[in-house]
Amino acid sequence: MAALALTACSGGAGPAERSLAPGEGSGTPPAASAAGPSGLDAELRVTTAGWSTDFARHEVNLSEIISGGPGKDGIPAIDAPVFESLSNGGWLEDQEPVISVGIDDQWRAYPISILVWHEIVNDTLAGRPITVTFCPLCHTAIAFNRELDGRVLDFGSTGNLRHSDLVMYDRQTESWWQQATGRAIVGELTGTQLEFLPSQLVSWEQFRTLHPDGELLSRDTGHIRSYGRNPYPGYDRTDSNPFLLADETLIDGRLDPKVRVVAIALNDEAVAYPLPDLAEVRVVNDDVGSTPIVVLWAPGTASGLGAETVAGGDLLGAATIFDRRVESRELTFEPSEDGQMRDRETGSTWGFDGLAVDGELAGLRLTLLPADSPFWFAWVIFRADTRIWQPAG
């Protein structure tokens, strides 16, 4: 953990791999009183130098925001992503985790081995502006619609954290955003909310199988990084505390801090499904916020933060969540073969992408719901009333 103290949220890059603005990257921000606006000096613990943010507008305690090491854009977002065919993905191993995002049958894979170094990709998919994000310290992999009230926003990293989670900023107003919640917490846009987009954290092999015509984010990012290397080896140990969490009293002890969960919030109800338990039952029928949902687990996806390489971590599997209604008919599911499930009403078989592959309902597709696969602490710290699903008996 001592090594992380020098690399947290900087990606652990060496001098040749990361370019910082003068004076940044020391890990100790200048005192807020040196540059902070009047009245905020006692609250801010990070520098305001170089920011046009309206710090007088905020909905969180400013003292909760701390430096992660690098400064503004010290972790460079990918603003002009290059994509290639899946046949060029030989540099990825089958078990490597990728963030899968699809709109109108156009699917793209964003490898964690790239996102762990950049954390944000500003993209346009099927004509829709999106941003794909990953915070290594929280294992929050989230896609957003980056159009807000008719205005397209571009996101970058502030270099700061709140509750160990990435604080992003939009370049149009320099408002600061909490990545885990998609909410503006400081600046002109304070109180506004980004739309979550459905995404899945799956293995590279799963993505290729489900979306053979999809596209892969290229390592041609314009930056030199050790793609494939994990700068946080061992960080995913379930019983270890999160790094750079200023107030560890916020840790919810119902589960170990870094147990991986798949979690969802619907209509003011939040539920977390621990991956170790899902691996035992494979399919869960539940109701969240009055919405009937099904959780499906499949084997084969590695933890990207467990070993020296992103591909080398333990195989934790992947989980995804669907609305279990189709054509106004509510279904109940049970495990089938190879990470699939079968509905009890018709015996049709459904794949990890929600598509019925055989049976009476073949060709129909369940609605994929926005969910995340973070560490437990990172989910519940923002949604304290989360219910933990537990297997019967």
What are residue 371's phi and psi, to 5 degrees?
-145, 170
Query: Using CA atoms, how far apart are residues 230 and 160, in angstroms rounded to an integer?
Result: 21
Find out whether 223 and 118 touch, Cβ atoms under 8 Å. yes
Q: Which helix (H) or strand (E) holds 13?
A: none
pLDDT above 90 for 18: no
Residues of the chain with pLDDT > 70: what percent? 89
Q: Which helix (H) or strand (E) holds 247?
A: none
325: tokens are: 């209604």
pLDDT above 90 for 190: yes
- The structural domains of the chain, with segments of one domain joined by +, span 248-388
pLDDT above 70 for 17: no
pLDDT at 43 (0 to 100)? 83
Determine which of 25-29, 215-219, 389-393 has the lowest per-residue pLDDT on average.
Answer: 25-29
Determine which of 14-23, 314-323, 372-381 has the lowest per-residue pLDDT on average.
Answer: 14-23
Banded model confidence at residue 33, pLDDT cuts 50, 70, 90: very low
pLDDT above 60 for 36: no
Using DSSP's 3-state secondary structure scheme, residue 383 falls into coil
pLDDT at 165 (0 to 100)? 98
Banded model confidence at residue 40, pLDDT cuts 50, 70, 90: low
CATH of domain 248-388: 2.102.10
pLDDT at 364 (0 to 100)? 97
Mean pLDDT in residue range 93-99: 98
What are residue 148's phi and psi, to 5 degrees?
-130, 115
Q: What is the largest CA-CA distance in the chain?
A: 68
Give the Cβ contact number of residue 90 at 10 Å: 7
Mean pLDDT in residue range 213-238: 96
Q: Is 154 left (phi over 0), alpha (psi -120 to 50) or beta?
A: beta
Give the Cβ contact number of residue 147 at 10 Å: 14
Query: Using CA atoms, how far apart are residues 234 and 215, in angstroms rounded to an integer?
Result: 30
Place of tokens 């309902």: 361
352: tokens are: 């990890």
More confident site: 245 or 139: 139
Query: Using CA atoms, how far apart are residues 247 and 238, in angstroms rounded to an integer?
Result: 19
pLDDT above 70 for 37: no
pLDDT above 70 for 282: yes
pLDDT above 60 for 206: yes
Using DSSP's 3-state secondary structure scheme, residue 250 falls into helix
Q: Quick: pLDDT tens for 107-141.
A: 999 999 999 999 999 999 999 999 999 999 999 99
Mean pLDDT in residue range 164-190: 98
Mean pLDDT in residue range 335-348: 94
Length of the chain measured in residues: 393
3-state secondary structure labels for all residues of 173-227: CCCEEECCCCEEEECCCCCCECEEECCEEEEHHHHHHHCCCCEEECCCCCCCCCC
Find out whether 225 and 11 touch, Cβ atoms under 8 Å. yes
Banded model confidence at residue 51, pLDDT cuts 50, 70, 90: very high
pLDDT above 50 for 348: yes
Banded model confidence at residue 332, pLDDT cuts 50, 70, 90: very high
pLDDT above 80 for 288: yes
Mean pLDDT in residue range 37-57: 81
pLDDT above 80 for 226: yes
Mean pLDDT in residue range 269-293: 98
